[in-house]
Amino acid sequence: MAVPDYQSLMLPLLKLVSDGQEHSLSVLVDALAMQLKLTDDDKKEMLPSGSQTTFYSRVGWARTYMKMACLLESTGRGTIRITERGLDLLRSNPANINAKFLAQYPEFMEFKGASRHSNKRSAVEAVEYEEPAQTPQEILESSYLNLRRNLAQELMERIKNCPPRFFEKLVIDLLVAMGYGGSRRDAGRAVGQSGDEGIDGIIKEDKLGLDVVYIQAKRWEATVGRPIVQTFAGSLEGQRARKGVLITTSQFSQEAKDYVNKIEKKIVLIDGEQLAQFMIDHGIGVTEVASYTIKKADLDYFGDE
């Protein structure tokens, strides 16, 4: 089954701690995964950022929301316990607990930033309150990825409208920013000087020049197939070279990808999408508009002695 959304995890989580004892979140996560019969793939599924598993994150948000509604309370380092309010709720045998259900509690509405000038106002808000299916962290990460995708598309459009010489310069700038080529001056002399047998340039692999990488960088529109990649591999053989990078503004066929995995030489294929992502990561052709730092509580600071 797919990983349940965090609101669907609220009631099962509350029932797991109904004994009134302290429970570790990590133990609860494992118990819930077993109860819900999640597969290994479900449990390994990661958030878009790769910072945490999706299931662990969603259980954590279910815990946070119920804590803010005073159904749960923290008792120490990563441990929780059900409150009397939580026990009263379970005695009423609720069919479901979600954010809209939690809106009946003034503490939760205050946490969500809703006004509660009167009991009547709070009741109206509780009825009208709706919460997205995604956790706040998932919404943030999803929005960030959408912004990156849109920016990557814009970068590709601009690259395709620029002259070939500009594309060569872009490749140099990117490889230097990634730590290749030594200095910008060294890289500028190396790339674009060969033009032999399908090789557009040669660049140092490191600042000392202990090894070199051969480059082919072309603005293709059509899919780059195995023949082009195979020709590039042959060019490396002619230069007695071991490493190469093939960069395109389009994409590579599956046959081309399979081919580089079979040969002895190390050839890295960078398609248009990867190129744009590298540009974003290394600050090439982009400028920073805003920066947000996401923080969490330092459990070491608040931990028991």
In angstroms, the CA 23 to CA 27 distance is: 7
In angstroms, the CA 68 to CA 269 distance is: 49
Side chain identity at residue 42, one-letter code: D
Q: Tell me, what's the pLDDT at 126?
A: 53
Residues (pLDDT < 70) of the chain are 1, 114-129, 182-184, 187-198, 303-305
Contacts of residue 109, defined as CB under 8 A and 6 or more positions apart, other chains included, come to: 103, 116, 122, 125, 126, 129
Q: Tell me, what's the pLDDT at 116?
A: 44
Note whether 33 and 55 are within 8 A (CB): yes
Q: Pairing between strand 212-218 and 23-24?
A: unpaired
Report H helices in 226-271.
226-238, 254-262
Q: Tell me, what's the pLDDT at 128?
A: 63
Tokens read off for 26: 């990590």
Q: Where are the beta strands (DSSP E) in the chain?
A: 23-24, 72-76, 79-82, 201-204, 212-218, 243-248, 266-270
Domain covering 6-133, topology: Four Helix Bundle (Hemerythrin (Met), subunit A) (1.20.120)
Q: Tell me, what's the pLDDT at 301?
A: 76
- 144-282 to CATH, choices 3.40.1350.10, 3.40.50.740, 3.30.499.10, 3.20.20.70: 3.40.1350.10
Locate CATH 1.20.120 in the chain.
6-133
Q: Tell me, what's the pLDDT at 121?
A: 47
The rounded percent of the chain whose pLDDT value lies above 90 is 59
Locate CATH 3.40.1350.10 in the chain.
144-282
